[in-house]
Amino acid sequence: MDPKTGKFKRYQEAARKDVERAFGVLQGCWAILKHNALPFSVNKIKRIMYACVILHNMIVQDNGNAISDFEEDYLSNPTNVPTRTWDERVATQMRAFGELRDRRTHHRLRNALVEYVWNLPENYRQR
């Protein structure tokens, strides 16, 4: 393994541990991850996750260990969201699914991330 890939793997492992810990908390507290999220729009998933973070922050607020600060921008009025037909929603989801599974896109993004991590300063704090 070359040094660039090794550094990237270390950063990726650290990030994966943080994400697994966060999702473990969310699943343990509210069983939010028991069902597949594919039927939901990205916007709805964001709102669900943000609601979980807010609930978690309310629980730990007294300890001063909140995950993130509250930002009202993320909770915009749902009436501003344009309505889409079933066919439009399915087409959007299928396009997004295809983009997620595209090997060339995956390799291009991964290589860009490897380069980004490689160019980070050595004293950059992994978090």
**pLDDT tens for the 127 residues of the chain, in order:** 899 999 999 989 988 888 888 777 777 777 766 677 667 777 887 888 788 777 777 776 655 555 555 555 555 555 556 678 889 888 988 888 888 788 998 899 899 999 999 998 877 665 4
The answer to whether the CB of 54 falls within 8 A of the CB of 61 is: no
User: Is 125 inside a domain boundary?
Assistant: no
> What angle is formed at CA 56 by the lines to CA 49 and CA 40, rounded to 5 degrees?
15
Q: What is the pLDDT of residue 119?
A: 92
User: Is 35 inside a domain boundary?
Assistant: yes
User: Is 127 inside a domain boundary?
Assistant: no
DSSP single-letter state for residue 119: T
Q: What is the pLDDT of residue 115?
A: 94
User: Is 124 inside a domain boundary?
Assistant: no
For 11, 19, 37, 60, 83, the CA distances from 80, given in Å and listed in that order, are 38, 31, 23, 32, 9
Tally of domains within the chain: 1
**Parent domain of 103:** 3-118
Please state, in angstroms and rounded to a whole number, the distance separating the CA atoms of residues 89 and 43. Answer: 12
